[in-house]
Structure 1
């Protein structure tokens, strides 16, 4: 039994808030927030990440509670890209980008590959900052699939961003839980000119979440261990555009 509906194209992207001004040094959060289900999420999000300039999030849901948490600062523009809508309550889930710097031209990339058995789709969301010539992408790769389906999802994403001639931040949950997936991912992105940031200290057992970049500088980065607001640990980067 299918428990979800794909959103109409007219409401697959939701926007709220307003952006501030451009800056060339950005604090970036990358986090799969596990739908905000854990009781610690709101407190940890506001305590540790309220000063970020870019938020690249996965497993966002359009519940009143989570939207209220994201709306803590009116000078952040939020763009949510919906992968599907639950039939029973009309709540949407997907990926999001929050930004203090100007962003525009949001586009949702809906992968043709879906999860086996439950058939839910996965999506990527991209926005641009034209003054900085910067493309920002939040992605959540397919999980319960074959390596070939994983590769198809990657190729569809790369096809959409290949036209962009500028700086790129591509981050999210890539579901790289085995070597074959990791090899497919890094090989494909390297051919497209994107570099992977490797943490000097990374104690994660499963390294599913990553940041790839092109023509920007990573000044510092860390995996924040010890937080319990999600089943994924947050990644924080200081980048220079």
Structure 2
């Protein structure tokens, strides 16, 4: 069974079709409300097609993207979300940092992208952001509520999302079966089933689940302050998610 990362790297358009079910404008507007007043320059980490970056750029902000997928970069440029110079290809957190990767006022690690990282990699990414941050900058992290994870994995109802890609009918169940959560490593292998017309492809998505307490530990370990947001605005924009904000 293929790793879902192969779809992300090789077929960005299909991956985007099954994962863009968010109100990116509302989320961008909500995040901006809690950045510093002089926030101008931002970076979208694990940016994918760059949907949050698109909304931020529409609002007048300078936004840079970082992602490992050349096909995602192609998709983002084709959609007009980024241009070639503002979309950096690199595997986070250990990537060759360009000379101009500095002076950022905000970093966004959204769409549960922290799940791609183990604890050591997560810590390294925080340090990467710290070294590229202006004073008063913030790192915003979207993670799963651990209560939701524990409850959901005990009694999970499989939900299939349907959409279209060009002339093709697409549906996706993520997960497609009851996953097994390892409470010691906070990881799980999620089976993903994608149907395009009559063809079905099955994938595995191995995900790390990081609690706010772990993120808080990493922040404090690096001498940084942290909070998390639970206001009605954040709950509406990011239902079921925890949004942590680390201050540099």
What's the TM-score, normalizing by structure 2? 0.40
Bigger strand fraction: 1
Structure with more helix by fraction? 2
Structure having the higher Rg: 2
TM-score, normalised with respect to structure 1: 0.41
